[in-house]
Each structure stands twice: as C-alpha cells, then as structure tokens.
Amino acid sequence: MSKSEKVQLNLYVSKKVRTQLHLIAAQRIFENPEKHHSAAGVGAEFLTEYLNSLKEDQKS
C-alpha cells in the first residue's frame, strides 16, 4: 500500500467474505503477534493490490 493520505471508505460485503477476512487477519496475527491486523485492513490491502494490478495491466 502506498504512503499517500488515507481516507475512510465503507463497503458492504457478505457475512462469508467478512468471515474470510477475519480468518486471514487472525492467521496473520498468529504468524506475527507484534503487528496489528484487522479484517478491514486485509480487505483494504486486497482492494488496493487489485486496483494496482488493473493499472499495471492497462500499461501493457
């Protein structure tokens, strides 16, 4: 994720997706307990990576 200014964005996802994001965050906490992870943070990371990959595809 870039170091640019962050803003809040509210998204609605299914309970299944929310649960998956919680599980991923919990796994990351288990792997590195000194770093904070949340479902929202994981979702934001995935969304950012996806949008960046679209941008890269458009350059090709």
| In-domain check, residue 10 | no
pLDDT tier for residue 2 given thresholds of 50, 70 and 90: low
Please report whether residue 48 resides in a domain.
Answer: yes
> Mind listing the pLDDT tens digit for each residue in 5-57?
989 999 999 999 999 999 999 999 999 999 999 999 999 999 999 999 998 88
Q: Is residue 53 part of a domain?
A: yes
Q: Which domain holds residue 42?
A: 24-59
CA–CA distance, 48 with 19 (Å, rounded to integer): 20
Domain count, the chain: 1
- Determine, yes or no, domain membership for 41: yes
d(CA 34, CA 5): 24
Give the predicted TM-score (pTM) of the model: 0.81
* Residue keyed to tokens 């979702």: 43
